Amino acid sequence: METVPAVVAHAAREFGREPALVDPYQRRWNFAELHDEARTVARALIASGIEPGDRVALWAPNSARWVLAALGVWCAGATLVPVNTRFTGPEAADILARSDAKGLIVTGPFLGVDRLASLPAGSLPPFVLPLPDWDAFLGRAGEVTAATAAGRAAAVRPDDVGDILFTSGTTGISKGVMSAHRQSLGVARAWAGIGGVGVRDRYLVINPFFNSFGLKAGLLACLTSGATIVPQAVFDVPRARELIEHEHITVLPGPPTLYIGLLDHPGRTGRTSLRLAVTGAATVPPALIDRIRDELGITTVLTAYGLTEAVVATMCRPGDDTLTVAHTSGRAAAGFEVRIAEKDGEVLLRGPNVMLGYLDDPAATAAAIDPDGWLHTGDIGRLDDQGNLTITDRLKDMYICGGFNVYPAEVERALAGLAGVAEAAVIGVPDERLGEVGRAYLVARPGHELHPDAVIAWCRERLAGYKAPRSVRIRAELPHNASGKVLKYLLREAP
């Protein structure tokens, strides 16, 4: 079971009538029905001209149809190319061209934007499916036999490229990360295994499916473990609270801001059905871990570390104490080795689930993966005696103030302890005398006010003078990528 089509078939046999996919207040599928529907989508794709190895882009928010479309693409023997819903038409057109997509499945108007209409003239691939035309599209399945679709699914091999995810990361430079079926499934099983995810779990997937975490530690983790997929298109606190209660959600991963939103919502009534939270991608204060456990009633709170090129590399384990969960990203997972480069402290990863490479970019691939197979992550970190990894910063985020290296993550951890701070990001800005000095961007918790002078004084009491920020900007929100990481290059461009 090292291909997605094989896993879909196995889930139908193993979990059968257990709930697999929920379109809240609309329709539900058990695992047997999910298998049948995925094969129907595959037949319709084959009838539409999709061949084995073709690349099919999927540009839509999380939904039940996203899941069905993705499974259909895989079962037709094609490669899935998820597209970020935040991309503009020209950005999406660039992905279509660079991936040489033969098909595009695209949402209807979403958040006030008609994405299909936004694409430049001449950028459309041969096959285009607007999701509002879904039912008519499925009608094409009758043109292809079930035996033909079964043959397509059986012909997929573990080392075939299953997905190409284009990273925006924190630099704004997009690369197509290629992963084999066996790799995507390997990290999905590892994540689900550590979290103890199984058939009794109902997983609210708010992390976007176009992101590696939402796709592999979300959709595929459910498929391999028998958990129920409950997609949510965008994070909206009232809607998430409603779904948690109505669908008896037990698993809810996401960035720290997700849990802060739930905890600070004025309508919160107490503990929930949730049992597993997995977070990361930002500083996680110990006090937030305790609040998630005590106020939301989530018994297992874990942190993890990964990136598109490796997905899940380290993860805490159930039973780890608050300080381990808050201050580290846990120990190696999914078959990875982790080491720290002596020269600059960079985190290096090696294992079976390191990406196959960057699409059509052998130079970038060679720069990222050295001849010994170590992936150079661009993150700075350290390992403790138990093998727990702490990410201290990004190599590119470090700045030099008066001759001293400053790692913004250290300053951000200090700011996370200041009452009223919901989120913090620190960058270096030019200074005539010192070269660079720190600037903090903060988001206040509801009902709290933050005063720049008081923030700077707080830092000076806890950090060496050269580490304390010299200026503070208060914002309603910070720019994030799909995995919850702050886009610091946008902050550097801000006034």
Q: Are 479 and 487 a contacting pair, CB within 8 Å?
A: yes
The reported pLDDT for the residue numbered 266 is 83
- The predicted-structure confidence for 117-172, as pLDDT tens digits, reads as follows 999 999 999 999 999 999 999 999 999 999 999 999 999 999 999 999 998 644 44
How far apart, in Å, are the Cα atoms of 10 and each of 16, 155, 200, 419, 440?
9, 16, 18, 50, 50
DSSP secondary structure code for residue 252 in this structure: -
The reported pLDDT for the residue numbered 268 is 78
Distance of alpha carbon 49 from the chain centroid: 31
**Full set of structural domains in the chain with CATH:** 4-158 (3.40.50.980), 235-393 (3.40.50.12780), 397-493 (3.30.300.30)
Q: What is the bridge-based pairing of β-strands 228-231 and 202-205?
A: parallel
The reported pLDDT for the residue numbered 195 is 97
Segments in the chain below pLDDT 50 = 169-172
Q: Are 37 and 20 a contacting pair, CB within 8 Å?
A: no
The reported pLDDT for the residue numbered 382 is 93
The reported pLDDT for the residue numbered 169 is 44
CA distance 366 to 363: 5
First to last CA, the chain: 52
Cα Dmax for the chain:
74
Where are the alpha helices (H) located in 376-463, listed in sequence order? 408-416, 452-462
Q: Specify the residue for token string 């012909």.
A: 155
DSSP assignment of 114-162 equals -HHHHSPTT---SEEEEGGGHHHHHGGGGGS-HHHHHHHHHH--TTSEE
The reported pLDDT for the residue numbered 418 is 92
How far apart, in Å, are the Cα atoms of 16 and each of 72, 76, 226?
19, 22, 9
User: pTM of the entire structure?
Assistant: 0.84
Give kind and range of the element (H or E) at residue 440.
Answer: strand 435-444
- The predicted-structure confidence for 391-426, as pLDDT tens digits, reads as follows 877 767 878 787 667 878 888 988 988 989 999 999
The reported pLDDT for the residue numbered 449 is 92
Nearest partner of 427 among 414, 441, 417, judged by Cα: 441
The reported pLDDT for the residue numbered 482 is 64
How far apart, in Å, are the Cα atoms of 466 and each of 91, 145, 400, 406, 415?
40, 69, 9, 8, 15
Q: Are 342 and 332 a contacting pair, CB within 8 Å?
A: no
The reported pLDDT for the residue numbered 171 is 44
**Coil vs helix vs strand at 229:** strand
Amino acid at 227: A
| 22 contacts: CB under 8 Å, gap ≥ 6 | 28, 29, 64, 202, 228, 229, 230, 231, 247
